[in-house]
């Protein structure tokens, strides 16, 4: 065969006549993406992802089908080519139906592979469950108790019976069962060392993931014991401290993580010194200073977080607060109120300036507070606090809701002349906390530490994460940030710029917009009500700080995990459309238009056909026809509604199980084994 000389990306190449541009490029290490080309099949030329430019004519040509010719000058890598390929992928994504990732995982601030750990739990493999969780979250015993469950808000199970899978209680069970006996594989320690100021959730999480990369860290904390808000902000009845102790002890077992308590930044340790002594410094100091009510006499009130801290330092005991008024509607207000309930027989009252609907506290906290007989008064704002005869007199004003403010909530407006007075022994102001950033560290307009949002970098070798960056938020969010920061610091130590992975997600939509018919269910959903935790007796709940509820049983956990309907794509690990889209920065919403709701075909016992995912590359049709010598698949309809169907719409024959060529060749999982979800 005669030789042909061509140029690809300026590289002179001698190739064999009759080869395609794509083949020659591949042989010479020039990568060209394609979805429809397969060596063993006849040319299809449909996806147009493999486009290159013929520099002589200026035309874009599909490299998979174009034979080389002597003197050809091909551009396979350039901004123009990148843009064309991105457009190809934008187009394909705009018609693609499916769920790259399960909605629960997407909702989780830590990014835990929830569907996967539920599947392991369903099989009774709780060690595997824990392993999957700890890939993203090192404090599962705590989070298994206190997580606000963003995942469950987005859980598609809601479409079936309006009750999300009880995800977090599965986590709690697996963590309680195996946390102490699971030790992850640990690489040898390197010489690099990071100082972490603040031994709370963000700090511990960063230390954990740095350790998994072999990087040592020293944690410094101003409090006498580590744990941060987990210890001093979250009451014992929600998170028993012996559980926290067990959890934190694991970090000591790992080696390479040192915890130094009673070390306050600016007093006992100095930032400048840490910067010099360590390769990097992470500020994870939290948001600990109670926010002002801007009310006359506010010094007579105790700050919410200060109240909890005092109780914590006293081993969750304290004096009877008497009649108590808590100002605020967040989780700290609930924690204060419910703690006060446990210490007094007098009334405990929460005053909030907006309505119940707008209250930021988690629903479960609000519900449990009401069960524990906390009283709520809405649309009530304090205007003055004074002391008379050893009693606090709180003057309040009634509010009404006006127009929406910047937060999107309707703004409360005082009603003239509606002032009234109430008497209280204790007034707790739980209206939020501020960050006290160390001197010299840049802050934003909320006084939180200013970081580069991409990589959590502050300046020099300083990074920061957690509440001190976001303002008071949830523990699970601090954990998510802690892990990302560990990645960023590790990259920094290697001298690299940390770039977050560009990850795309195609979604069928939020459960509230979906009907059961629109779900793709490989397994028939089990009919079962959601499992609920058993509470301790009411008497114990109101009078002691004992944990309010008990972990589910093994049987309950397995049955609960079976309620998961497994939303994510069966092919997500291997999907070429996803991989290329991420490589070429394509986006599912770059072009928006009609998505066809094709019926998925579950009739074969082992194979699922989901035409909504199909990219019409024809590979399945051709492999069946040209290699297997069967004619079981074919194109149907025309234009935008073209889809791959079966011969006369019949189910695929059962003996397709022995072949599976079409499944192997499908780039996107439009044909897949059902067993991936079993």
Partner 1 sequence: MIERIKVGMASCGIAAGADEVKDFLDQKLKDREDIEILEVGCIGHCYAEPLVEVETESGSVFFENVEPTEEYLDKILEIDKESTMSFRDERTGREHLKVTKLAGRIDPVSLQEYIENGGYESLKKVAKMSPDKIVEEVKTSGLRGRGGGGFPTGLKWSFLASKEADKKILICNADEGDPGAFMDRSMMESVPHQVIEGMLIAALATGSNELFIYARAEYPLAVKNMNIAIEQVYDSDINVFDGETIDVTVKEGAGAFVCGEETAMIHSLEGNRGNPRYRPPYPTDEGYKGHPTLINNVETFANVPIIFEEGGEKYAELGTENSKGTKLFALAGDLKYAGLVEVPMGLTIGEVVYDMGGAERGEVKAVQIGGPSGGCIPAKHFDVPIDYDSLESLGAIMGSGGLIVIGSGRCMVETARYFLEFTTKESCGKCTFCRIGTKRMLETLERITSGEGTLEDIDFLEDLGPKVIDASLCGLGQTAPNPVLSTLRYFKDEYLAHVEDKHCPALQCNDLVDIYLDQEICIECGQCIKNCPVDAISDDFVVDNETCTRCNTCIEVCPVDAISRVKRGDTNE
Integer Cα distance of 262 and 539 in angstroms: 37
Q: What DSSP string runs through 437-461?
A: PPTTS-B-TTSPBP--TTT-EEETT
Q: What burial class does residue 327 get, using C-beta atoms within 10 Å of its C-beta: 0-12 exposed, 13-18 middle, 19+ buried?
A: buried
- In the complex, the smallest distance separating the C-beta of residue 228 from partner 1, rounded to whole angstroms, is 47
CB-nearer residue toward partner 1: 58 or 408: 58
| Conformation bin of residue 282: beta by default, left when phi > 0, alpha when psi is -120 to 50 | beta
Residues in the chain: 678
- In the complex, the smallest distance separating the C-beta of residue 596 from partner 1, rounded to whole angstroms, is 10
The beta-strand segments (E) located in 328-475 are 348-351, 375-377, 380-388, 391-404, 410-414, 420-424, 426-429, 433-434, 457-459, 462-464
- In the complex, the smallest distance separating the C-beta of residue 521 from partner 1, rounded to whole angstroms, is 27
CB-nearer residue toward partner 1: 50 or 481: 50
State the DSSP code for 670: S
Contact predicate 342/311, CB 8 Å: no
- In the complex, the smallest distance separating the C-beta of residue 628 from partner 1, rounded to whole angstroms, is 18
CB-nearer residue toward partner 1: 447 or 579: 579
Integer Cα distance of 111 and 132 in angstroms: 11
- In the complex, the smallest distance separating the C-beta of residue 638 from partner 1, rounded to whole angstroms, is 6
CB-nearer residue toward partner 1: 482 or 645: 645
**In the numeric block, which tokens belong to residue 89?**
């992928």
- In the complex, the smallest distance separating the C-beta of residue 249 from partner 1, rounded to whole angstroms, is 56
3-state secondary structure of 528: coil
CB-nearer residue toward partner 1: 342 or 622: 622
CB-nearer residue toward partner 1: 59 or 553: 59
Return residues touching partner 1 (CB under 8 A).
43-49, 51, 59-60, 62, 65-67, 84, 87-88, 91-92, 94-95, 591, 593-594, 615-616, 618, 634-635, 637-642
Closest among 494, 478, 499 to 196, alpha carbons compared: 478
Q: How far is CA 295 from the centre of its chain?
A: 38
Contact predicate 327/430, CB 8 Å: yes
- In the complex, the smallest distance separating the C-beta of residue 502 from partner 1, rounded to whole angstroms, is 21
CB-nearer residue toward partner 1: 62 or 148: 62
**In the numeric block, which tokens belong to residue 555?**
């049987």
Rounded to 10°, the helix 114-122/126-134 angle is 170
CB-nearer residue toward partner 1: 57 or 515: 57
To which H or E segment does residue 61 belong?
A: strand 59-62
CB-nearer residue toward partner 1: 43 or 459: 43
If one counts every other C-beta atom within 10 angstroms of the C-beta of residue 414, the result is: 16
In the chain, count H helices and then E strands.
23, 28
- Using CA atoms in the order 57, 61, 64, 69, what is the torsion angle rounded to 10 degrees? -10
- In the complex, the smallest distance separating the C-beta of residue 89 from partner 1, rounded to whole angstroms, is 9
**In the numeric block, which tokens belong to residue 671?**
């044909």
- In the complex, the smallest distance separating the C-beta of residue 646 from partner 1, rounded to whole angstroms, is 15
- In the complex, the smallest distance separating the C-beta of residue 257 from partner 1, rounded to whole angstroms, is 51
CB-nearer residue toward partner 1: 370 or 650: 650
Dmax (CA) for the chain in angstroms is: 108
CB-nearer residue toward partner 1: 359 or 575: 575
Integer Cα distance of 613 and 208 in angstroms: 38
- In the complex, the smallest distance separating the C-beta of residue 654 from partner 1, rounded to whole angstroms, is 27
């Amino acid at each position: 065969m005669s030789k042909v000389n061509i140029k690809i990306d300026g590289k002179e190449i001698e190739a064999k006549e009759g080869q395609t541009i794509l083949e020659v490029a591949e042989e010479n290490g020039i990568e060209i993406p394609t979805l429809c080309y397969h060596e063993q099949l006849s040319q299809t030329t449909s996806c147009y992802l493999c486009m290159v430019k013929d520099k002589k004519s200026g035309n874009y040509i599909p490299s998979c089908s174009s034979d080389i010719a002597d003197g050809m000058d091909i551009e396979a890598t350039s901004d123009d080519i990148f843009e064309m390929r991105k457009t190809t992928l934008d187009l394909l994504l705009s018609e693609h139906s499916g769920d790259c990732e399960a909605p629960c995982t997407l909702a989780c601030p830590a990014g835990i592979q929830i569907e996967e750990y539920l599947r392991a739990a369903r099989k009774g493999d709780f060690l595997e469950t824990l392993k999957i969780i700890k890939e993203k979250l090192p404090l599962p015993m705590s989070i298994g108790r206190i997580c606000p469950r963003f995942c469950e808000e987005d859980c598609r199970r809601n479409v079936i019976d309006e009750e999300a899978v009880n995800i977090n209680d599965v986590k709690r069970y697996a963590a309680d069962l195996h946390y102490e006996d699971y030790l992850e594989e640990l690489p040898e320690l390197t010489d690099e060392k990071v100082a972490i100021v603040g031994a709370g959730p963000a700090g511990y999480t960063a230390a954990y993931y740095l350790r998994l990369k072999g990087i040592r860290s020293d944690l410094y904390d101003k409090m006498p014991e580590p744990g941060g808000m987990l210890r001093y902000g979250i009451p014992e009845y929600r998170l028993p401290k012996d559980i926290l102790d067990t959890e934190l002890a694991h970090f000591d077992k790992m080696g390479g993580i040192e915890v130094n308590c009673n070390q306050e930044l600016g007093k006992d340790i100095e930032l400048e010194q840490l910067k010099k002594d360590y390769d990097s410094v992470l500020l994870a100091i939290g948001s600990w200073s109670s926010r002002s009510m801007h009310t006359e006499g506010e010094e007579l009130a105790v700050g919410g977080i200060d109240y909890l801290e005092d109780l914590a330092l006293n081993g969750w005991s304290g004096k009877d607060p008497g009649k108590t008024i808590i100002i605020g509607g967040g989780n700290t207000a609930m924690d204060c109120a419910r703690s006060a309930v446990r210490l007094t027989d007098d009334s405990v009252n929460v005053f909030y300036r907006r309505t119940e609907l707008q209250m930021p506290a988690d629903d479960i906290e609000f519900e449990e507070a009401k069960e524990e007989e906390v009283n709520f008064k809405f649309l009530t704002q304090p205007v003055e606090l004074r002391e008379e005869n050893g009693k606090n007199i709180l003057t309040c004003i009634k509010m009404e809701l006006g127009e929406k403010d910047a937060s999107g909530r309707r703004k409360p407006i005082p009603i003239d002349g509606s002032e009234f007075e109430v008497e209280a022994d204790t007034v707790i102001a739980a209206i939020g906390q501020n960050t006290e950033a160390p001197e010299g560290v840049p802050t934003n307009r909320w006084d939180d530490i200013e970081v580069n949002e991409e990589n959590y970098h502050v300046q020099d070798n300083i990074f920061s994460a957690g509440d001190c960056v976001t303002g008071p938020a949830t523990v699970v969010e601090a954990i998510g940030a802690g892990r990302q920061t560990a990645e960023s610091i590790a990259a920094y130590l290697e001298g690299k710029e940390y770039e977050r992975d560009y990850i795309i997600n195609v979604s069928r939509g939020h459960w509230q917009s979906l009907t059961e018919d629109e779900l793709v269910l490989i397994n028939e959903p089990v009919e079962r009500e959601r499992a609920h935790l058993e509470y301790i007796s009411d008497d114990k709940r109101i009078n002691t700080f004992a944990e309010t509820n008990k972990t589910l049983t093994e049987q309950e956990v397995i049955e609960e995990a079976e309620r998961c309907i497994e939303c994510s794509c069966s092919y997500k690990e291997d999907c070429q459309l996803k991989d290329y889209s991420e490589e070429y920065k394509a986006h599912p919403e770059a072009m928006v238009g009609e998505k066809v709701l094709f019926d998925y075909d579950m009739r074969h016992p082992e194979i699922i056909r989901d035409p909504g995912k199909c990219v019409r590359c024809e590979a399945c049709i051709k492999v069946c026809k040209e290699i297997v010598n069967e004619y079981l698949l074919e194109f149907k309809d025309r234009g935008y509604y073209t889809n791959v169907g079966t011969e006369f719409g019949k189910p695929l024959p059962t003996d397709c199980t022995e072949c599976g060529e079409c499944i192997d060749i499908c780039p996107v999982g439009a044909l897949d084994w059902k067993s991936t979800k079993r």
